Amino acid sequence: MAIRTVHQVIGKNEQVIGEYMDLKLAKEMDNRTDVLYYLADLMEAQGVDEQLAEKIAEQMLTDGQRSEILNRLKSVKDLPSRAATISADTE
């Protein structure tokens, strides 16, 4: 007889995303799923269909794509606030 521990990652609507023997891998997949749903929710708020938003978010999280997106995001600087822009224009 043996005891086996299986860690399930649960998504929206109680859907099982995956089952993992390794707790670390399950936690990594859970985090990845949380980020996927966060990105998809941002897109849905802009009017993108739910399934399409999830498909786009999934593509963004692929290993090669994710690193490219992160590198490009790091190069983006915050825009000055409107008040700072107005005061700079009047000087």
Rounded to 10 degrees, the C-alpha dihedral 67/68/74/79 comes to -140
Q: What is the pLDDT of residues 21-64, one digit of tens each?
A: 999 999 999 999 999 999 999 999 999 999 999 999 999 999 88
Backbone angles phi, psi at 19, to 5 degrees: -125, 130
* Res 1: pLDDT: 82
Which residue is associated with the tokens 């990652």? 9
Q: Which two tokens stand for residue 79?
A: 């825009």
Q: What is the pLDDT of residues 56-87, one digit of tens each?
A: 999 999 988 999 999 999 999 888 877 666 66
Domain map of the chain by residue range?
Answer: 23-74
* Res 19: pLDDT: 94
